[in-house]
């Protein structure tokens, strides 16, 4: 007799005895065993159902099928049915992911998710074919080379967009606010994103933009800050850390970047299904800016690792967060290699900022809201994590702790304008003078530095 059946028999006998002898309290251990046996039996029935359907597909589908492809599609469907970020990677996709996290990969240069069967652009990566062609966050890719992406898994669509350097691909895009589809022809390239770009704003404010969090990010940030301090000398009033449209990446890099600005305290924590599986990361002494004022820029394309950094610096009041609310991807994906068969990317925990706020589906609300354009004030709200199908809920959002007031001298925040002036030029990434949000961040840092001696004198 099978152990499962034997267990059912024991439980059935216990219930029979209860019926004969009258009302009794079933011992907790017996109740638990009964539930476990029932769950196991149901699982076996469902696995048999899967096997039956697989055999019917193999035997009766109109064309012969590849067993591996069918099984991999089933696995991917199981994982993608959980949430927008869990998925299966075959051996090739897993290798591609490992290459990408090292800071070099082939393709178009876009971070994507899936929505309504279409491929949704989270963010184009700076100085890549996608960015140069004008692909924007929020774009829905509906066709690849004229073929609909409906019915493709996200991984299948990504694999079609990847390819040899110099080969071409045509994207059909549906853009919010635009009625007609947009056709773009792109030429694939080897993507080596410059993860940190930096410049001086005037001669007194340093600007650093991080485009992603790969293995090179922390090193690149440190080099950028060192160079800016050398260029500015003693006149440097502060640093702008631009995380707009940064889709995230490696957790350890987000922790290290946060630690670069913090002397102590928690950076981020995770809470998993089992309490013992939660983790916490703390800052070590040492601030690469020696206490310079910092403004962090975020928007709806700032996700995951970007939100960890913004949340940590905001909670510690180490920086002022400026811009618009971030994307809200506060879930942890663990990559679990399957020997000989790629890997699964499984959501295993949620991120929490040092004050205990969950990032999931809420994102980071800026301390000072500044819109990139006047049109943004009346434009439809940009989709974020909470708008994705099967996105994890944030049941603790209503109980999120209140942050202490901004640590700014009186009147400094009033120097910041929320909207660009009438007739201001449209933002062009190649023209820093059109970047209204960065300009306002620089104005804030200058006003902050000017008021700081007055505040110290008043104490």
- What distance separates the 2 farthest-apart alpha carbons in the chain? 90
Closest alpha carbon to 360 in 261, 258, 268: 268
Q: Determine how many CB atoms are found less than 10 A away from the CB of residue 431.
A: 10
**Which positions are annotated as active-site residues?**
304, 315, 329
What the block records as the tokens of 339 is: 């020997």
| pLDDT exceeds 80 at position 458 | no
Length of the chain counted residue by residue:
459
- Say how far apart CA 339 and CA 335 lie, in whole Å: 13
Contact 382, 341 (CB under 8 A): no
Instruction: Return the domain boundaries, the chain.
Output: 3-65, 105-191, 196-458
Q: CB of 353 within 8 A of CB of 359? A: yes
pLDDT digits (tens, 9 = 90+) for 144-154: 999 999 988 88
- β-bridge pairing 168-174 and 182-187: antiparallel
pLDDT tens-digit series, residues 259-300: 999 999 999 999 999 999 999 999 999 999 999 999 999 999
More confident residue, 218 or 138: 218
DSSP result, 232-269: HGGG--EEEEE-TT---B-HHHHHHHHHHH-SSSEEEE
Statement: residue 24 has pLDDT above 60: no
> How confident is the model at residue 29, as a pLDDT?
65
**Which H helix or E strand runs over 6?**
helix 3-21
Q: For residue 434, give every residue at least 6 positions away whose Cβ sits within 8 Å of its Cβ, in sequence order, or none.
A: 424, 425, 426, 427, 428
Cα separation of the two ends of the chain: 82
Spatial CB neighbours of 372, under 8 Å, sequence gap ≥ 6: 299, 324, 420, 427, 436, 437
Alpha carbons 328 and 9: distance in angstroms, whole number = 49
Nearest residue to 227 (alpha-carbon basis) of 257, 212, 253, 206:
206
Q: Which residue has the higher pLDDT, 7 or 110?
A: 110
Q: How confident is the model at residue 28 (pLDDT cuts 50, 70, 90)?
A: low
* pLDDT over threshold 90, residue 210: yes
CB within 8 A of 451, min separation 6: which ones? 409, 410, 411, 412
Whether 344 contacts 88, CB under 8 Å: yes
Q: Sheet of 205-210: strands edge to edge?
A: 196-201, 205-210, 238-242, 293-298, 320-323, 368-369
Give the chain's mean pLDDT.
Answer: 88
Best mean pLDDT range from 30-44, 91-105, 164-178, 276-290: 276-290
Comparing 199 with 190, the larger pLDDT belongs to 199
Per 3-state DSSP, the chain is made up of helix, strand and coil in percentages (nearest 5) of 35, 20, 40
| Dist CA 445 CA 204 (whole Å) | 9
**Rounded CA gap, 242 and 401, in Å?**
26
| pLDDT above 70 coverage of the chain, percent | 90
Within 8 A by CB and 6+ apart from 369, the residues are 322, 323, 324, 418
Both tokens assigned to 273 = 């299904």
Q: What is the CATH number of domain 196-458?
A: 3.90.226.10
Q: Where does 105-191 sit in CATH, by number?
A: 2.30.42.10
pTM of the model: 0.76
pLDDT digits 0-9 by tens, 33-56? 667 777 888 999 999 999 999 999
Distance CA 65, CA 157 (A): 20
Structural contact between residues 244 and 301, judged by C-beta atoms closer than 8 angstroms: yes
Q: Cα(358)–Cα(151) distance, rounded to whole angstroms?
A: 33
pLDDT number for residue 125: 79
């Amino acid at each position: 007799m099978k152990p499962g059946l034997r267990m059912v028999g024991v439980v059935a006998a216990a219930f029979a005895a209860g019926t004969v002898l009258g009302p009794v309290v079933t011992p907790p251990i017996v109740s638990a065993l009964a539930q476990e046996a029932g769950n196991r039996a149901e699982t076996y029935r469902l696995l048999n159902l899967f096997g039956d359907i697989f055999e019917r597909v193999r035997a009766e589908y109109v064309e012969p099928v590849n067993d591996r492809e069918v099984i991999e599609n089933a696995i991917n469907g199981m994982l993608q049915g959980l949430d927008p970020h869990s998925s299966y990677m075959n051996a090739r996709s897993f290798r591609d992911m490992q290459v990408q996290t090292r800071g070099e990969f082939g393709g178009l240069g876009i971070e994507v998710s899936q929505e309504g069967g279409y491929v949704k652009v989270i963010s184009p990566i700076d100085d890549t074919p996608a960015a140069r062609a004008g692909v924007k966050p929020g774009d829905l890719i509906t066709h690849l080379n004229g073929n609909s992406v409906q019915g493709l898994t996200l991984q299948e669509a990504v694999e079609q967009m990847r390819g040899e350097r110099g080969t071409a691909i045509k994207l059909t895009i549906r853009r919010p606010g635009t009625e007609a589809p947009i056709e773009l022809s792109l030429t694939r390239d080897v993507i080596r994103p410059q993860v940190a770009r930096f410049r001086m704003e005037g001669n007194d404010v340093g600007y650093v933009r991080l485009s992603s969090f790969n293995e090179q990010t922390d090193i690149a940030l440190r080099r950028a800050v060192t160079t800016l301090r050398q260029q500015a000398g003693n006149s440097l009033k502060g640093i702008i850390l631009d995380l707009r449209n940064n889709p995230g990446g490696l957790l350890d890099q987000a922790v290290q970047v946060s630690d670069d600005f913090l002397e102590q305290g928690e950076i981020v924590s995770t809470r998993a299904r089992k309490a013992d599986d939660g983790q916490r990361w703390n800052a070590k002494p040492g601030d690469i800016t020696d206490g310079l004022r910092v403004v962090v820029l975020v928007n709806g394309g700032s996700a995951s690792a970007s939100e960890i950094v913004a949340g940590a610096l905001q909670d510690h009041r180490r920086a002022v967060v400026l811009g618009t609310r971030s994307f809200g991807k506060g879930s942890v994906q663990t990559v679990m290699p399957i020997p000989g068969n790629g890997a699964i990317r499984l959501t295993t925990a949620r991120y929490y900022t040092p004050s205990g706020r969950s990032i999931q589906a809420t994102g980071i609300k800026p301390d000072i809201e500044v819109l990139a354009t006047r049109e943004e004030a009346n434009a439809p709200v940009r989709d974020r994590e909470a708008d994705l199908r099967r996105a994890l809920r944030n049941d603790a959002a209503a109980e999120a702790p209140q942050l202490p007031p901004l640590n700014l001298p009186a009147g400094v925040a009033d120097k910041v304008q929320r909207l660009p002036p009438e007739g201001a030029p449209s933002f062009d990434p190649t023209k820093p003078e059109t970047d209204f949000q960065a300009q306002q961040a620089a104005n804030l840092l200058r006003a902050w530095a000017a008021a700081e001696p007055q505040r110290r004198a008043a104490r």
